[in-house]
Amino acid sequence: TPLLIAARSTACRTIVERAPVTRNLVSRFVAGSTLEQALPAVEELTRDRYVTLDHLGEDVTDAEQAGATVTAYTRLLEELGRAGLGARAEVSVKLSAVGQFLPFDGEKIALENARHICEAAARVGTTVTLDMEDHTTTDSTLSILRELRVDYPSAGAVLQAYLHRTEADCRDLRYEGSRVRLCKGAYDEPASVAYRDRTKVDRSYVRCMRTLMAGAGYPMIASHDPSMVTIAGRIAADNGRPADSYEFQMLYGIRDAEQVRLAAKGNRMRVYVPYGEQWYGYFMRRLAERPANVAFFARSLLTR
């Protein structure tokens, strides 16, 4: 929790960004600060896996920054097309980075911007998944998804198993063609809306997997948790689902050997690859998830 508070603090951000060791450490989780740096990693990964690319950034404060995000994604998608990666790589977008919280017409601006990104994705034969941010954004994000799907039916969304509402959202979103990325959830949420206990989150994750796998949609099991991965395989088999009717997803730099193993067994395995300059929020959420990551960070600060 302190790390998630730090993730939102400007003072902490300055300290962490300026620490000389941070760069090396960040490169464990982030594929590069530019698209040119990230592309070789993507090409390498797509040999046996699939990829979703995230241009890092969140919470823009004016329409110009939101427009810059759209430009970054358009350029990214053109490059994916040029590299012939449209069938192996899609993009993940945070609506807060395309204007969702701008004071005037934020939602409308985000929808229009997301539409431009979906259009650019369609041009190179790929698609877009909307990341999910804190619980105050869930309704707005799902309503933007509904609008986008009218013209871009392959647009997908993320649902977070730690929210009480998510099982019901899984039921609503399990129709034919619906792509749902199920994760545990990475924000510091109040007990009024979310399970705070790990076991309860895991149980909810399993219930959500059952709901999605029993439906007609395309579930995307985004977790590094070995139990969740095993249970997903079992539930898929119980539902008679072929290996290409769902997929596993993990983050860049996390459990790489397990990613390779799952792909080699004939599963679809997609890696979420973030790149860009604005890595701070993403990086701090990864530290908060896993004490071992913090220890690793602390050790590198001390041994430098």
Q: Choose, from 54, 131, 169, 202, the residue flagged as catalytic.
A: 131
Using CB under 6 A as the binding rule, whether residue 58 contacts ligand FDA is answered as no
Distance, CA of 187 to CA of 118 (rounded, Å): 26
CB of 200 to ligand FDA, least distance (A): 12
Query: How many residues contact ligand FDA, by CB under 6 A?
Result: 24
* Chain Cα centroid distance, residue 198: 20
Nearer of residues 60 and 132 to ligand FDA, judged by Cβ: 132
Contact predicate 56/278, CB 8 Å: yes
CB of 104 to ligand FDA, least distance (A): 26
Token pair listed for 95: 């609506």
The 10 Å Cβ neighbour count of residue 105 is 12
Using CB under 6 A as the binding rule, whether residue 189 contacts ligand FDA is answered as no
Stretch that binds ligand FDA, among 38-46, 114-122, 147-155, 218-226 (CB under 6 A): 218-226
Using CB under 6 A as the binding rule, whether residue 30 contacts ligand FDA is answered as no
Long-range contact set of residues 115-119: C-beta below 8 Å, sequence gap at least 24: 115/148, 115/151, 115/152, 116/70, 116/74, 117/70, 117/73, 117/74, 117/77, 117/91, 117/93, 118/148, 118/151, 118/152, 118/155, 119/152
User: What's the angle, vertex CA 266, arms to CA 82 and CA 37, rounded to 5?
Assistant: 30
H-only helix segments in the chain: 2-6, 10-18, 22-29, 35-45, 63-82, 106-123, 138-151, 166-172, 198-214, 226-238, 256-264, 280-289, 291-303
Using CB under 6 A as the binding rule, whether residue 254 contacts ligand FDA is answered as yes
- Of the candidates 8, 28, 165, 255, which one interacts with ligand FDA according to CB under 6 A? 255
By DSSP bridging, strand 269-275 and strand 218-222 are unpaired
Q: Is 169 a catalytic residue?
A: no
- Of the candidates 22, 45, 60, 131, which one interacts with ligand FDA according to CB under 6 A? 131
Which residue, 105, 106, 16, is CA-closest to 286?
A: 16
Distance, CA of 193 to CA of 290 (rounded, Å): 23
The sign of the dihedral angle between the CA atoms of 54, 227, 197, 175 is positive
- Of the candidates 7, 163, 251, 273, which one interacts with ligand FDA according to CB under 6 A? 251
Stretch that binds ligand FDA, among 37-45, 72-80, 171-179, 180-188 (CB under 6 A): 180-188
Nearer of residues 151 and 197 to ligand FDA, judged by Cβ: 197
Stretch that binds ligand FDA, among 55-63, 78-86, 148-156, 222-230 (CB under 6 A): 222-230
Nearer of residues 11 and 257 to ligand FDA, judged by Cβ: 257
Distance, CA of 7 to CA of 185 (rounded, Å): 15
CB of 250 to ligand FDA, least distance (A): 5
Stretch that binds ligand FDA, among 15-23, 63-71, 141-149, 221-229 (CB under 6 A): 221-229
Q: What is the x/- site pattern for ligand FDA, positions 135-164, by CB under 6 A?
A: -----------------------x-x----
* Chain Cα centroid distance, residue 130: 8
Q: Is 244 a catalytic residue?
A: no
Stretch that binds ligand FDA, among 32-40, 62-70, 102-110, 216-224 (CB under 6 A): 216-224
Distance, CA of 113 to CA of 119 (rounded, Å): 10
Nearer of residues 17 and 289 to ligand FDA, judged by Cβ: 289
User: Which positions are catalytic?
Assistant: 131, 181
List interacting residues with ligand FDA (CB under 6 A): 131-132, 158, 160, 181, 183-187, 222-226, 228, 249-251, 254-255, 272, 289-290
